[in-house]
Amino acid sequence: MIALVTGASRGIGRAIAERLAADHAAKLLLVYRSREDEAEEARAACEAAGGEAAIHRADVSDAEAAAGAVAACIERFEGLDVLVNNAGVTADKLALMMDDDAWHRVLRTNLDGVFYTARAAAKHMLRKRRGRIINLSSISARRPNKGQVNYAASKGGVEAFTRALAVELAPKSITVNAVAPGIIETEMSQRIRDAADKELKKAIPMRRYGQVGDIAGVVSFLAGPDAGYVTGQTIGVDGGLGV
């Protein structure tokens, strides 16, 4: 398996990359925007888990950079079987106080970046008549918190994009699915967990936060041979919060 994972230097992205290395002995291109030191640590962890990995710096909100990351993977490993669109940012603020930059910055990375990278990857997968595209959404697409109009809109767009692209690519044996994490113990969720820890855990039927491995396991399944007839789906991994 040859896989490209965006936002792979830490958190959920790194956990996904390591799981693909462990479960599938994957060859991985780990795409990151900054923090090269963390990307190198992720690369070493993937190789320790049984895979082969390289790092590539790119801002997927830029169409040329996103396409360049896909091209780099194909050149390095002579192919691309699995694309995991994990890169994402937040810029929370109440809608009436949100400036244009906060709106566009989140949409450019979280939604435009998914489109740019998937478009480039799908062109290669179409020629081979096989492939897996897995997009990271969020519980916020269905149950947003205050201040998340940009983030919720971006993730709702990811889910709609996933369904539409799945219909287009299914005849060529390319599956397109999304995974929607709930509240996972990551750096990105630290602020909201610190602000309302007891209330959040009370709202989650399982009464605990998720771990990055919970997301990685579902992505590994969608990337593997047992998910060949699963497409156009958004799988919630949220401890029951989305029920």
Catalytic residues: 151
Overall domain count for the chain? 1
Kindly state whether residue 212 falls inside one of the protein's structural domains: yes
* pTM, entire model: 0.94
CATH code, 189 = 3.40.50.720
Q: What is the pLDDT of residues 150-187, one digit of tens each?
A: 999 999 999 999 999 999 999 999 999 999 999 888 77
For residues 81 and 54, the answer to whether their CB atoms sit within 8 Å is no
Judge contact between 227 and 23, C-beta under 8 A.
no
Residue 31 domain boundaries: 2-234
Residue 150 in domain: yes
Would you say 45 and 20 are in contact if contact means Cβ atoms under 8 Å apart? no
- Kindly state whether residue 27 falls inside one of the protein's structural domains: yes
239 is a domain residue: no
Q: Looking at the domain assignment, is residue 59 inside a domain?
A: yes
Report yes or no on 243 lying in a domain. no
Would residue 68 count as lying in a domain? yes
Share of residues in the chain with pLDDT > 70 (%): 97
